[in-house]
A and B are shown apart, each in its own frame.
Chain A
Amino acid sequence: MRTPRELADAHPGPAFTVTLDGREIEALPGQTVAAALWAAGVTSWRTTRGEGRPRGVFCGIGVCFDCLITVNDRANQRACLVPLHAGDDIRTQEGTGHDDRP
């Protein structure tokens, strides 16, 4: 069985670490937040403000705003659009994404 990287014969630079709620996960140069989270086996990273239901990627192109996440203290970023850099601090979010801020 082959992987997408093998299919496209991709040779990205060395992996780096970012944190998801303080836990270290690996990411590759060029990966978006969503791609790195998928690779780490994470498919949901926010809960809705009404029913508290889990959500992750839906449209994958920045239209639906389902994949909202907090990156380096910026709330409500779209995980499918934002590329990762070494040391980025990713946080899952609840509700409006501003709920834990005074």
Chain B
Amino acid sequence: MTDREPGQPRLAVIGAGPAGLAAAIAAAARGVRVTLLDSAAEAGGQFYRQPAAELRARRPQALHHEWRTWERLRDGLDAHVRAGAVRHLTDHHVWLVERRADGRFTVHALLGPEQEDPAEVCADAVLLATGGYEKVLPFPGWTLPGVITAGGAQAMLKGTLATAGRRAVVAGTGPLLLPVATGLASAGVEVAALVESAGPRAFAGRARALAAQPGKVAEGARYGARLLRHRVRLLARHTVVEAHGADRLEAVTVAALDGAGRVRPGTGRRIPCDTLAVGHGMLPHTDLAETLGCRLDGHAVHVDDEQRTDVPGVWAAGEATGIGGAALSLAEGHIAGRSAAARLRGARPEPAEWAAAARTRTRLRAFFAALDSVYAPPAHWAEQVTDDTVVCRCEEVTGGAIRAAVAELGAGDARTVKLLTRAGMGWCQGRVCGPGVAGLAGCELTPSRRPFARPVPLGVLAAAGEDD
């Protein structure tokens, strides 16, 4: 399985979203042999997720924007694959990147959706473009079938042309909600309301940073127009306080928020719906980086100007290094790919060559930092979580159990809460409940150590890397 023929250096790029694609193309164009590993059947990641080929969609662009950028990436990848410079391994779920004693790397993956059989890829360097996933804070009823993440609603629509129901509410906070609402509406779902906890005034306060992004303002205006066209009611500075239903979602109660981020008493109203698409922002996937020993800044992988992590031979780009959207991911991926290519060939990179990408990166990082302070969950969201609300969905740990661990057993940090309640010990390893548990316990959300980025069969683990 190990391929170490001499010649061109090998770079493993993990993730075929915008960052990974830009990186793979940039590195392959500069004499590096790239292995691009991705869990999906098609390149694109979450942002450019494509309908399954067998669905034979003639107009996939109807589900997307920035289609031309996608076409460029797709064609660039295809050309490099045809030329033999890039090997694109689809359906590869990477569970561990191992840094070996000789300084090279073994990428350990599981094949196909079943994730039972292993594959290993050997490389001189790795570039982590692992993307992000959605943050969702708990509220009563959020475990009811019919409540899905906003990103999940979009992924099901883009990837399989599927919608869950006929009448949806889109709620939470963040720039993802607008495209999700308009996407569902244009696919025939009645969107009863878009419930955004941020208020219009928060945007006004950040007007300058936001206005520095003319493209983004135009994008917002486009979405605004589409909302109008589909008659989607926008409820700013509102929140979902409860999802109702016996065995599936039947309605939600939404309420207005006051200036301090508390629910205004008496403002609750019930909206019948069979789907609630909810999200509160994004978190980076950092498991592979963390296990390699890469330094994190808060929740994101720390990188230098060349997108290098502090572990030799490991680059990172895109959402893994901080949430900032597809355009920022493209710029970071491009820089990372060029830097890796130069360094793998023993040359010093010339940052002047990627000056345009670096300027884009600076501008977009500032923009998303500004957005981050605009889009925030209601400051007092945790007050809405009742003691019988399940907070850890996998292990069914309630809000009451978490509060008791803090008040009665002395847990003051996320790890101790986990040890004493099992919150975060289940199948998802706390990826979903982490922010909710930390908020309820009144402590910082700290990145968890997850040595396995995905569950791995013990039989596979028992034989992993044995040939070395």
**Which residues of A line the B interface, CB within 8 A?**
1-13, 28-32, 34-35, 38-39, 43-44, 48-51, 53-66, 68, 74, 76-78, 80-83
Query: How many B residues touch A, CB cutoff 8 Å?
Result: 55
Residue B234, interface by CB 8 Å: no
**Mask for B107-121, Cβ within 8 A of A = 1, else 0?**
000000110100000
Contact A61 B51, beta carbon cutoff 8 Å: no
A10 in contact with B248 given A30-B53, A60-B155, A80-B156 (CB within 8 Å): no
CB-CB nearest 10 A-B residue pairs: A60-B152, A30-B54, A30-B52, A65-B427, A35-B160, A29-B54, A35-B162, A44-B145, A30-B55, A9-B59
Residue B35, interface by CB 8 Å: no
Contact B54 A12, beta carbon cutoff 8 Å: yes
| Bound-complex Cα distance A31 to B148 (A) | 18
Chain B interface main SS type: loop
Residue B133, interface by CB 8 Å: yes
Residue B68, interface by CB 8 Å: no
Contact B188 A8, beta carbon cutoff 8 Å: no
Residue B413, interface by CB 8 Å: no
Known: A4-B162, A7-B188, A43-B248. 19 other contacts (CB 8 A): A2-B187, A8-B58, A8-B59, A8-B60, A12-B56, A13-B56, A29-B55, A30-B55, A43-B146, A54-B145, A58-B149, A58-B432, A59-B149, A59-B151, A60-B151, A61-B46, A65-B426, A77-B114, A82-B113
Contact A59 B113, beta carbon cutoff 8 Å: no
| Bound-complex Cα distance A39 to B148 (A) | 16
| Bound-complex Cα distance A65 to B115 (A) | 13
| Bound-complex Cα distance A49 to B113 (A) | 23
Residue B186, interface by CB 8 Å: yes
13 A-B pairs with CB atoms under 8 Å apart are: A2-B186, A11-B56, A30-B52, A30-B54, A35-B161, A51-B396, A54-B247, A60-B148, A60-B151, A63-B432, A66-B428, A74-B116, A76-B427
**Mask for B405-420, Cβ within 8 A of A = 1, else 0?**
0000000000000000
| Bound-complex Cα distance A80 to B157 (A) | 12
Closest to A74 in B: B114
**Mask for B37-68, Cβ within 8 A of A = 1, else 0?**
00101000010000111111111101100000
State which of A8, A13, A54 has its C-beta within 8 Å of the C-beta of B51: A8
